[in-house]
Structures are given as C-alpha cells and as structure tokens.
Amino acid sequence: MPKITIPLGPQHPALKEPENFMLVLEGERIDKASINLGYNHRGIEKACEERTYIQDIYLLERVCGICSHSHTSCFVGCVEEIAKVEIPERAQALRILMGELERAHSHLLWLGVAAHEIGFDTLFMYTWRDREHVLDCLELISGNRIHYAMNIIGGVRKDINAKQKNEILKRMDILEERTNYYVKLITQEPTILARTQNVGLLPTQEALKRNAVGPTLRASNVKSDVRKDDPYLMYDKLDFKVITADSCDVFGRVFVRVFELIESYKIIRQIINYLPTGAIAVKVPWKIPEGAAVGRYEAPRGEDIHYVKANDSIKPERVKVRAPTLANFASVRYMLEGGYLADVPIVIAAIDPCMSCTDRSLVLDGEKTSSYSWNDLRLMGIEFYKKKGIDFSKVKI
Amino acid sequence: MKIITKLITWSQMKSPWIIHFNSGACNGCDIEILDALTPKYDLERFGVLLKGTPRHADVLLVSGSVSRQIHKRLVRIYEQMPNPKFVVAIGACACSGGVFDGCYSTLGGVDKAIPVSAYIPGCPAKPEAIIDGMIKLLASLKE
Ligand code: SF4
C-alpha cells in the first residue's frame, strides 16, 4: 500500500493551539509522526532579561494562561532562594491554595477538552459549567479569573477573610459531588471506555526513557510527584495521595486527573481549615544579590522547572523555563506511531499539551560543552527560520 | 442595497458563524472565548456557532500577538474565509501586542497582519466583554 503524508495543524478543529504534526499513514495506521513546534514562540526569556524582577512576575504569568500561578510560583521561589528570604507560613499556604485551585480548574478544563475530542460534547459542557465554580473562587480571592497575579517576591498580594473561606468551602462541596459523578461516568460509560482503553499506550519503561512528567508519567504507573518527592512550600505538612494508574493508556490519564481533582479539594479544605496566622509577605530589596537557582514545581501538567541567574541588579541575567509539555512531547510520538488516525486528537489531548508553555527556543547539542553567546544563538535562529521561509535577520533586537 | 447583500447581512446578523484562531496567545484569552460558548455565558443564544474551518466562518476571532512564524498562516486563514468577513481581535495581545509588545518574535497586534473590525481589550478579555463586543459588531452590521 502506498504511504501518504497528511499534515495536522497549525489550524485544525481538533487542536486548540497552533502546532503541526506530519503523519505518514499506511492505510489507517500511522507509520511515522513528526512534530513541528514554534508557532507560539514569542521570545519571553529574552524579554525577561530586559525587565525588572517585578515586571517579570507579570510577564512570566503570561507564559501560559492555564497554569499561570505555577510559573510565577516557580520563578519567585527561585528569586527568594537567591535573595535568601523565608516567606511567612500564611503566604506559603495561600500560594498552595491558589495552586490547587488552579489544578482543579486545569483538570476540569482538560476533562472537557478530552471529552470534546472523543465527540462527547455533553461532558464538555458539564465540566466547563462546573469549572466556573473554581473560577469564581479564584476571582473572589484575587480579583481576576485567569491571571491572578497573587505572587510577589516575598509572599502573596492578598489575604483571604472568613466570608471568602466559607464561600470556597461551599463551592468545594458542590465540586466534590460533581466530581464523584465524573468518577462514575469515566469508569462506567461504555463510549468513554471504548475510546480510551488501550489507546495511546505508553509502557512504564518507555515513559521513563522518554522523560515523561506529571499525570502522563503517573498514568504509566510511576509514583512521581514533585509535591511529594521534593516538597516545596508546606506540602510536606499536608495529607494527600499521589494518584497512579497501571493501564498506561489514555484511560489511565483520565483516571489520574479525575482522582487528582478529589485530592486537590482535600488539600484546599485542609488549607482553609488550618490557615496559619501571621503576615502574608516580607519585604525584599529590589536588588537581588549574585547567584543562581533552579526551582521545581508540580504544575497541573507535570514538573515545571525555572532557572534564574541574578547579578546583583534589579534585572535578572538569565531566566530559563522548561514547561512540562515539552518533556511530554517525546512520548507523544511514541504513542501516535502504530495507532489509528481517528485516535490522534485524543492521544495528543491526553498529555494536556500547552503550546504557549512549550515554545521556548532550545539547542540540543550533545558534543558541545562550552556555552553559546547570545550572538551565536541569534545566528542559529536566523539559519533555522530561513528554512521555514521567515527572515529574522532584519528584526531589531 | 442589492437584495442578495441584504439577505447575507440579515443572515449574518441572526447567526454569525465564528472561527477561533490562536496566533501566539498565552491561552488565557482562548479559554475565555471557549468559556463564552459554554453554559454559563452561552454565546450560542445569539446564534453564534463555533466552526472548525475558515471556509464556513463569517467572523474570525483572533487572540494573541501575532508571532512571526504564524503570520503567513493567519493571512492564509483570513484569505480562505468567504466575503463579507470580519475580524475580532480579542485581548490586549491581539489589540496591540500587550505584554509581549517589543518581543523579537512578535509583530504586535493583529492589525499589523490583517484588517480588524472590532477590538476587545482586557488581559484576558472577560467572557462578558467578548459577548458585548460580538453584539456590538452585529449591531454595526445593520448600518
Ligand atoms: S491578552 Fe493576556 S490573557 Fe490574552 S493572550 Fe494576551 S497575555 Fe494572554
């Protein structure tokens, strides 16, 4: 049978974001898949170097609209480590509260999108309706639905009061009831089972070899969660479980995320009920002393890594972001190859891809040990884009 | 006005079909657009229907400061839409570049690439604002 190649994206009804997959098909089966990224590359890392630490918080928040709090928490965590400040316990708790609300909103959003990809639009509408409860909580605390801007260097920006606490607890009860319904749905509904079981298989060994992270890795039966393995903030004092699944398929990924929702509600309740007293922020000087730090954070999609290098000024010298989706893309290729064309949307959606997080520039060079200067990188960028028909040489930087 | 244009305007006003395109956004605006279409806000009660292909759409909702790599695609999608067509820029990024204004890989603003009929500001634009903008666009068709 002759092989045909079909492109998927950058604009495609099944993809919510611009990315491109080239699929080589043999009949209905996928023989080879290659991934083309970079449509969302904006140049945030470079922009960070030109702005102050305070401005960078708001810029890095806009790396991704879904896990915005994760990126800022990771970044301010690094800066606080370099500046050697300990943030108050209440600020730590509030950061966790926002982080878990964010996880709940992200997982509900994902469940809806995944349902949409398999043509189950009723579930899509259900979850997005329920997700509004989480967004209301976030708006109640911070004043905004998407970019909460809660983190500042040295703590958080806003405190919560008793009325807000009650409201959040009330919403958690509603959400818990709804999530229990989803648990029943995903484990019993025949259409969901038929579309997700034994689809997009990623055995444990492959997942480890390809450095998968987050729910994708946990669904391949690896107990890995930064919140437990390398606790930050005050996660070591909280009681929650790391959810894993041993089916290694799309069903496992749905299972892990839905049960993580319940764990998130549990954490939110603990935080609200045992909120430490005290200040919500400490003062940190604008100038950050020389040093470098790496931060790890369990974002809704997996481990998020930030690297910050400071040089005793008000602007960072270098900021590097490694978002979880980038780590998961190596597995997508494996999951797609050998599968059916009809399963492509759900297999891609199963890692919960976030392109705006992922599209950073990256040089993979196994041989070279010395570092690249900005000029070298710029020349490489111009060469790279020339092949795509875009002229970067006239762009002023 | 010719009878056929009148008919087209009438049907577009009653039920505009939209397509959403992310031209380098942070996702914040995209999820708010989808939010506007889901039960709490329900843009569909105004006849607005989300479509998968530009060839079926009357209104293009663009979010994001246009990145250089996506520029050509955005223009192509715009060209594929049948006339008469409208573009709505959603969010601060799409209106003017927003926080990413001045980044080396962005053009800054959708109007640098294609003509825009309506701007909805906000970072992200709230679903209420998106609904308001859509209604205002539809009202302006009447004139
Ligand atoms: S306007 Fe704000 S929320 Fe919308 S895409 Fe731009 S940065 Fe994201």
Instruction: For chain A, 397 residues long, give each residue's pLDDT as a single digit of tens.
Output: 788 888 887 888 777 788 888 889 888 888 888 888 888 888 888 888 889 999 999 999 988 888 889 999 999 999 999 999 999 999 999 999 999 999 999 999 999 999 998 889 899 999 999 999 999 999 999 988 889 889 999 999 989 999 999 999 999 999 999 999 999 999 998 989 998 888 888 899 988 998 899 999 999 988 989 888 888 888 888 999 999 998 889 999 999 999 999 999 999 999 999 888 988 999 988 889 999 999 999 999 999 999 999 998 999 998 999 888 888 888 888 888 888 888 888 988 888 888 888 887 777 777 766 777 878 888 888 888 888 777 777 776 6
Check residue B16 and give its pLDDT: 87
pLDDT tens digit sequence for B37-72: 888 888 888 888 888 888 988 899 999 888 888 888
A105: tokens are 């909103």
Q: In this complex, do A17 and B27 lie within 8 Å of one another by their Cβ atoms?
A: yes
In the three-class reduction of DSSP (H, G, I as helix; E, B as strand; rest coil), residue B67 is classed as strand
Q: Kindly report the CATH number assigned to the domain that includes residue B77.
A: 3.40.50.12280
Residue range(s) defining the domain that contains residue B91: 2-142
ipTM: 0.89
**Cα dist. A154→A75, A238, A356, B50 in Å?**
12, 22, 27, 44
Check residue A251 and give its pLDDT: 92
Best of B68, B73, B100, B101 to disrupt the A interface (most A CBs within 10 Å) is B68
Whether B28 contacts chain A with CB within 8 A: yes
Query: Which amino acid is it at A311?
Result: N
Check residue A397 and give its pLDDT: 67
Domains identified in chain B, total number: 1
A139 in Cβ contact with A145 (< 8 Å): yes
Residue B120 has pLDDT above 80, yes or no: yes
Check residue A169 and give its pLDDT: 93
Check residue B134 and give its pLDDT: 87
Q: In this complex, do A47 and B123 lie within 8 Å of one another by their Cβ atoms?
A: no
Whose tokens are 């839409």? That residue is B81
Check residue A128 and give its pLDDT: 92
The answer for residues whose C-beta is within 8 angstroms of residue A309's C-beta and 6 or more apart is: A291, A292, A316, A317, A318, A319
| Alpha-helix runs per DSSP H in A149-276 | 162-188, 190-196, 204-209, 214-218, 226-229, 250-273
Work out the percent of chain B whose per-residue pLDDT is above 90: 15
State the sign of the Cα–Cα–Cα–Cα dihedral B5, B7, B10, B12. Answer: negative
The answer for residues whose C-beta is within 8 angstroms of residue A131's C-beta and 6 or more apart is: A105, A108, A109, A112
- Give the CATH superfamily of A44-358: Cytochrome-c3 Hydrogenase, chain B (1.10.645.10)
Check residue A361 and give its pLDDT: 74
Check residue A269 and give its pLDDT: 92
Whether A54 contacts chain B with CB within 8 A: no
Check residue B1 and give its pLDDT: 64
Domain borders along chain A are 44-358, 362-397
Best of A45, A62, A67, A391 to disrupt the B interface (most B CBs within 10 Å) is A62
Q: Which residues line ligand 1 (CB under 6 A)?
A: A 62, 65; B 25-26, 28-29, 63-64, 91-93, 98-99, 123-124
pLDDT tens digit sequence for B82-103: 888 899 999 998 998 888 888 8
Check residue A375 and give its pLDDT: 80
- End-to-end CA, chain A: 50
Check residue B112 and give its pLDDT: 87
Which of A11, A42, A124 lies closest to B67 in CB terms? Answer: A42
A48: tokens are 């960070």
Check residue B25 and give its pLDDT: 87
